[in-house]
Amino acid sequence: MERRFEREIEGLKTSLIKMASVVEDNVASAVQALLKEQKDLAEKVIAGDERVNELELENDNTIVDLLALQQPVASDLRFIIAAQKINNDLERIGDHAVNIAESAQTFAATHEQEPLLEIPKMCDIARGMLKDAIDSFINVDPVLAKRVLERDDEIDDLNRKTIRAVIELIRTDMKSLEVGLELTRVSRNLERIGDLTTNIAEEVIFQVQARVVKHHAEDRTDVHKIH
């Protein structure tokens, strides 16, 4: 007899996958709106965030039900805890997509071709990391999740590079101040998307292998490990 509880867990996973695909689309659209200066697409991303928020609330509700009513343990408990964090991470990635879309609108309004510095490269990496993090969750693949973790340094480096370049830009020409601030904002948002996809990947590893990999926890002696 298949347990009702297992069906509910499966339902939560399906709902998170649905949310992940909406968020992935929003990030892709925000990036495209930015790189191609497409104002309409940016508006669509901003409006589309409401759906992400709705899904977050729905998932929150399901998670509270499962925790309060089903007393999950072992892999079920780890899945639900991971799901709760991934739900939160996805919602915040959605917010960063909105921020990027807002910057895209600002750029689109200037009729000038802004220098995008390292940002196109960062967009590629952030989208790739997000896709892999989501795939690792869907396919319960800790190996793919680990690869996501390894790429976070790349995007962090590019963020620092972008900020240095922006400083240089402003130093050379004070008229670039507004553009520079906007570029910094985009860069920061992409870097945060990288961080949050890293969190998702860490949760996948926790869920599957019961290993806490965030904050280098396994190298520490003072943290509570799950044995």
Partner 1 sequence: MAMTEPQIRLRAENLNIHYGTKHAIKDVSLDIPSNQVTAFIGPSGCGKSTFLRALNRMNDLIETAQTTGKVLFDETNVYDPGVDVVELRKRIGMIFQKSNPFPKSIYENVAYGPRIQGEGDKRKLDEIVERSLQQAALWGEVKDDLDKSGLALSGGQQQRLCIARALAVEPEVILMDEPASALDPIATAKIEELIFELKERYTIAIVTHNMQQAARVSDRTAFFYLGELIEYDETKRMFTAPSKKQTEDYVTGRFG
Residue of 50, 54, 65, 218 interacting with partner 1 (CB under 8 A): 65
Question: Cα dist. 95→60, 82, 172 in Å?
Answer: 17, 20, 33
Residue 71 interacts with partner 1 (CB under 8 A): yes or no: yes
Taking CA 151 as the corner, what is the angle to CA 25 and CA 114, rounded to the nearest 5 degrees?
Answer: 60
Residue 43 beta carbon to partner 1: minimum distance, rounded to whole angstroms:
29
Beta strands in 41-162 (DSSP E): none
Residue with Cβ nearer partner 1 (65 or 150): 65
For 178-192, b where at least 16 C-beta lie within 10 A, e where not — what string? Answer: ebbebbbebbebbbb
Query: Residue 166 has which token pair?
Result: 């922006």
Residue with Cβ nearer partner 1 (1 or 174): 1
Residue of 15, 32, 38, 70 interacting with partner 1 (CB under 8 A): 70
Closest by CA position to 33, among listed 91, 103, 117 = 103
Residue 72 interacts with partner 1 (CB under 8 A): yes or no: no
Residues with Cβ < 8 Å from 208, sequence gap 6 or more? 140, 142
Residue of 64, 109, 143, 210 interacting with partner 1 (CB under 8 A): 64
Taking CB under 8 A as the binding criterion, the range among 62-70, 114-122, 124-132, 168-176 that sits at the site for partner 1 is 62-70
Residue of 47, 57, 69, 223 interacting with partner 1 (CB under 8 A): 69
For partner 1, the binding residues (CB under 8 A) are: 1, 3-5, 64-65, 68-71
